[in-house]
Amino acid sequence: MTSHVMQVPRRVGRPSKADKDAAAERIIGAATNLFATRGFAGTSMEQVAAHSGAGKDTVYRRYPSKVALFEAVVDHAHQRAIARLETMPAASGTALERLQALMLAMLHINMEPDLIALKRITFSEAVVFEKDGPIPPQPDPIMEKLVDAVAEAQAAGSIAEGDAKAIASHLIHCLVALPTAAAMTGSHAFDASGSVKEHFDRTWPWLINGVRGGAVS
Protein backbone atom coordinates (compact mmCIF):
# COMPACT_ATOMS: atom_id res chain seq x y z
CA MET A 1 0.00 0.00 0.00
CA THR A 2 1.43 3.29 -1.02
CA SER A 3 1.23 6.10 1.51
CA HIS A 4 0.71 9.64 0.43
CA VAL A 5 2.08 12.66 2.30
CA MET A 6 0.03 15.79 1.93
CA GLN A 7 2.16 18.63 0.69
CA VAL A 8 1.39 22.05 2.15
CA PRO A 9 1.33 24.51 -0.72
CA ARG A 10 3.95 27.21 -0.46
CA ARG A 11 2.73 30.74 -0.36
CA VAL A 12 3.29 32.52 -3.64
CA GLY A 13 3.47 36.27 -4.08
CA ARG A 14 4.19 39.12 -1.77
CA PRO A 15 4.02 38.71 2.02
CA SER A 16 0.79 39.88 3.62
CA LYS A 17 0.66 43.02 5.73
CA ALA A 18 0.39 40.84 8.85
CA ASP A 19 3.55 38.98 7.85
CA LYS A 20 5.37 42.25 7.22
CA ASP A 21 4.25 43.66 10.57
CA ALA A 22 5.34 40.48 12.36
CA ALA A 23 8.75 40.62 10.67
CA ALA A 24 9.15 44.27 11.64
CA GLU A 25 8.27 43.47 15.26
CA ARG A 26 10.85 40.68 15.33
CA ILE A 27 13.54 42.94 13.89
CA ILE A 28 12.81 45.77 16.31
CA GLY A 29 12.58 43.37 19.25
CA ALA A 30 15.90 41.75 18.42
CA ALA A 31 17.57 45.12 17.79
CA THR A 32 16.25 46.53 21.07
CA ASN A 33 17.69 43.60 23.03
CA LEU A 34 21.04 43.73 21.24
CA PHE A 35 21.48 47.49 21.52
CA ALA A 36 20.49 47.40 25.21
CA THR A 37 22.89 44.58 26.09
CA ARG A 38 25.79 45.13 23.68
CA GLY A 39 25.66 48.84 22.99
CA PHE A 40 25.65 50.59 19.63
CA ALA A 41 29.19 49.70 18.57
CA GLY A 42 28.77 46.08 19.71
CA THR A 43 25.67 45.50 17.61
CA SER A 44 25.76 44.73 13.90
CA MET A 45 23.04 44.49 11.30
CA GLU A 46 24.09 40.87 10.73
CA GLN A 47 23.50 40.10 14.41
CA VAL A 48 20.07 41.69 14.26
CA ALA A 49 19.20 39.61 11.20
CA ALA A 50 20.37 36.40 12.90
CA HIS A 51 18.53 37.08 16.18
CA SER A 52 15.31 38.15 14.47
CA GLY A 53 15.21 35.28 11.98
CA ALA A 54 15.02 37.76 9.11
CA GLY A 55 17.34 37.82 6.13
CA LYS A 56 20.05 40.45 6.10
CA ASP A 57 18.58 41.87 2.89
CA THR A 58 15.21 42.22 4.63
CA VAL A 59 16.76 44.17 7.50
CA TYR A 60 18.66 46.47 5.16
CA ARG A 61 15.60 46.98 2.98
CA ARG A 62 13.68 48.29 5.97
CA TYR A 63 16.56 50.08 7.68
CA PRO A 64 19.35 51.18 5.31
CA SER A 65 21.85 51.79 8.12
CA LYS A 66 22.48 50.92 11.75
CA VAL A 67 21.70 54.52 12.70
CA ALA A 68 18.32 54.27 10.95
CA LEU A 69 17.63 51.01 12.78
CA PHE A 70 18.56 52.50 16.14
CA GLU A 71 16.31 55.51 15.53
CA ALA A 72 13.47 53.10 14.72
CA VAL A 73 14.16 51.25 17.98
CA VAL A 74 14.03 54.50 19.96
CA ASP A 75 10.81 55.57 18.22
CA HIS A 76 9.27 52.16 18.94
CA ALA A 77 10.21 52.46 22.62
CA HIS A 78 8.65 55.93 22.73
CA GLN A 79 5.44 54.69 21.09
CA ARG A 80 5.34 51.81 23.57
CA ALA A 81 5.58 54.28 26.46
CA ILE A 82 2.76 56.34 24.96
CA ALA A 83 0.59 53.24 24.60
CA ARG A 84 1.22 52.22 28.20
CA LEU A 85 0.21 55.64 29.49
CA GLU A 86 -2.86 55.71 27.25
CA THR A 87 -4.03 52.30 28.48
CA MET A 88 -3.48 53.05 32.17
CA PRO A 89 -6.64 52.68 34.24
CA ALA A 90 -8.15 56.08 34.85
CA ALA A 91 -6.78 57.42 38.12
CA SER A 92 -9.34 58.36 40.73
CA GLY A 93 -9.19 61.17 43.24
CA THR A 94 -8.52 64.87 42.88
CA ALA A 95 -6.80 66.53 39.93
CA LEU A 96 -3.60 66.72 42.00
CA GLU A 97 -3.81 63.01 42.85
CA ARG A 98 -4.28 62.18 39.17
CA LEU A 99 -1.23 64.29 38.32
CA GLN A 100 0.74 62.44 40.99
CA ALA A 101 -0.30 59.05 39.59
CA LEU A 102 0.69 60.11 36.08
CA MET A 103 4.12 61.34 37.22
CA LEU A 104 4.79 58.11 39.11
CA ALA A 105 3.85 56.02 36.04
CA MET A 106 6.14 58.13 33.85
CA LEU A 107 9.00 57.65 36.31
CA HIS A 108 8.61 53.86 36.40
CA ILE A 109 8.45 53.64 32.59
CA ASN A 110 11.55 55.78 32.11
CA MET A 111 13.53 53.77 34.66
CA GLU A 112 13.05 50.47 32.83
CA PRO A 113 16.47 48.97 32.01
CA ASP A 114 16.04 48.84 28.23
CA LEU A 115 14.99 52.49 28.08
CA ILE A 116 17.93 53.51 30.28
CA ALA A 117 20.27 51.61 27.94
CA LEU A 118 18.79 53.26 24.84
CA LYS A 119 19.10 56.72 26.38
CA ARG A 120 22.70 56.00 27.33
CA ILE A 121 23.47 55.09 23.73
CA THR A 122 21.64 58.15 22.43
CA PHE A 123 23.84 60.50 24.42
CA SER A 124 27.10 58.61 24.14
CA GLU A 125 26.78 58.23 20.35
CA ALA A 126 25.58 61.77 19.60
CA VAL A 127 28.47 62.31 17.19
CA VAL A 128 27.47 59.22 15.21
CA PHE A 129 23.91 60.47 14.89
CA GLU A 130 25.18 63.94 13.82
CA LYS A 131 22.59 65.56 16.08
CA ASP A 132 21.46 65.43 19.68
CA GLY A 133 20.28 61.89 19.08
CA PRO A 134 16.86 60.53 18.17
CA ILE A 135 14.22 62.67 19.81
CA PRO A 136 10.52 62.10 20.46
CA PRO A 137 8.10 63.42 17.84
CA GLN A 138 7.04 67.00 18.32
CA PRO A 139 4.63 67.77 19.77
CA ASP A 140 5.34 64.93 22.17
CA PRO A 141 2.06 63.18 23.21
CA ILE A 142 3.55 62.24 26.60
CA MET A 143 4.48 65.83 27.40
CA GLU A 144 1.10 67.04 26.17
CA LYS A 145 -0.61 64.59 28.53
CA LEU A 146 1.43 65.91 31.45
CA VAL A 147 0.77 69.55 30.56
CA ASP A 148 -2.98 68.82 30.45
CA ALA A 149 -2.78 67.17 33.89
CA VAL A 150 -0.94 70.21 35.29
CA ALA A 151 -3.55 72.53 33.78
CA GLU A 152 -6.35 70.49 35.36
CA ALA A 153 -4.66 70.75 38.76
CA GLN A 154 -4.33 74.51 38.24
CA ALA A 155 -8.00 74.80 37.33
CA ALA A 156 -8.86 72.93 40.54
CA GLY A 157 -6.78 75.39 42.56
CA SER A 158 -4.24 72.74 43.61
CA ILE A 159 -1.32 74.34 41.78
CA ALA A 160 -0.55 78.03 41.44
CA GLU A 161 -1.25 79.81 38.17
CA GLY A 162 1.56 80.00 35.66
CA ASP A 163 2.88 78.42 32.49
CA ALA A 164 1.61 74.83 32.67
CA LYS A 165 4.26 73.69 30.20
CA ALA A 166 7.08 75.20 32.29
CA ILE A 167 5.73 73.60 35.46
CA ALA A 168 5.45 70.23 33.68
CA SER A 169 9.08 70.58 32.53
CA HIS A 170 10.26 71.19 36.10
CA LEU A 171 8.30 68.18 37.35
CA ILE A 172 9.87 66.02 34.63
CA HIS A 173 13.35 67.29 35.45
CA CYS A 174 13.18 66.71 39.20
CA LEU A 175 11.14 63.52 39.29
CA VAL A 176 12.23 61.72 36.11
CA ALA A 177 15.30 63.26 34.46
CA LEU A 178 17.50 63.28 37.56
CA PRO A 179 17.12 59.58 38.46
CA THR A 180 17.31 58.45 34.83
CA ALA A 181 20.48 60.50 34.33
CA ALA A 182 21.97 58.90 37.43
CA ALA A 183 21.14 55.43 36.13
CA MET A 184 22.51 56.27 32.68
CA THR A 185 25.87 57.31 34.14
CA GLY A 186 26.27 54.10 36.12
CA SER A 187 24.83 55.02 39.50
CA HIS A 188 23.43 52.09 41.49
CA ALA A 189 21.29 54.33 43.69
CA PHE A 190 18.10 52.97 42.13
CA ASP A 191 19.04 49.30 41.79
CA ALA A 192 17.34 48.16 44.98
CA SER A 193 13.70 47.09 44.84
CA GLY A 194 11.45 49.98 45.78
CA SER A 195 14.18 52.63 45.43
CA VAL A 196 12.42 54.36 42.52
CA LYS A 197 9.19 54.66 44.51
CA GLU A 198 11.16 55.88 47.54
CA HIS A 199 12.69 58.64 45.40
CA PHE A 200 9.23 59.67 44.23
CA ASP A 201 7.69 59.61 47.71
CA ARG A 202 10.57 61.67 49.06
CA THR A 203 10.64 64.22 46.24
CA TRP A 204 6.97 64.72 45.38
CA PRO A 205 5.82 66.41 48.65
CA TRP A 206 8.43 69.16 48.77
CA LEU A 207 8.37 69.61 45.01
CA ILE A 208 4.62 69.98 44.73
CA ASN A 209 4.51 72.24 47.79
CA GLY A 210 6.87 74.53 45.93
CA VAL A 211 4.35 75.05 43.12
CA ARG A 212 1.20 74.83 45.16
CA GLY A 213 -0.62 78.13 45.56
CA GLY A 214 -0.04 79.78 48.91
CA ALA A 215 2.68 77.37 49.95
CA VAL A 216 5.32 80.08 50.35
CA SER A 217 4.77 82.33 53.32
Boundary-marking domain end, from 64, 99, 119: 64
- 120 with 166, same domain: the answer is yes
Q: What is the CA radius of gyration of the chain?
A: 22
Half-sphere exposure for 117 (CA within 13 Å, toward CB):
16
Per-residue pLDDT of the chain (217 residues; tens, 9 = 90+): 444 443 434 444 465 667 677 889 999 999 999 999 999 999 999 999 999 999 899 999 999 999 999 999 999 999 999 998 888 887 789 999 999 999 999 999 999 998 999 988 888 776 566 655 445 556 788 999 999 999 999 999 998 889 999 999 999 999 999 999 999 988 899 988 899 999 999 999 988 887 554 444 4
- 136 with 104, same domain: the answer is yes
- In this structure, is residue 216 part of a structural domain? no
At CB < 8 A and 24+ separation, what contacts does 54-58 make? 54/23, 54/26, 54/27, 58/23, 58/27
- In this structure, is residue 137 part of a structural domain? yes
- 26 with 100, same domain: the answer is no
Distance (Å) of CA 65 to CA 16, 61, 130, 148, 202: 25, 9, 14, 37, 44
- 30 with 127, same domain: the answer is no
Predicted TM-score (pTM) of the model is 0.77
- 26 with 114, same domain: the answer is no
- 51 with 137, same domain: the answer is no
Any idea what DSSP says for residue 177? I
- 117 with 179, same domain: the answer is yes
Any idea what DSSP says for residue 176? I
Q: Which domain holds residue 92?
A: 79-211
Dihedral angle over CA of 41, 130, 145, 103, nearest 10: 50
Number of domains in the chain: 2
- The pLDDT, as a whole number, for residue 137 is 59
**How far is 144 from 129, CA to CA, in rounded Å?**
26
- 84 with 44, same domain: the answer is no
Dihedral angle over CA of 42, 52, 180, 87, nearest 10: 170
- In this structure, is residue 4 part of a structural domain? no
- 121 with 172, same domain: the answer is yes
**How far is 186 from 80, CA to CA, in rounded Å?**
25
- 140 with 46, same domain: the answer is no
Half-sphere exposure for 127 (CA within 13 Å, toward CB):
2
Q: Looking at residue 93, which CATH number applies to its domain? A: 1.10.357
Q: Looking at residue 54, which CATH number applies to its domain? A: 1.10.10.60
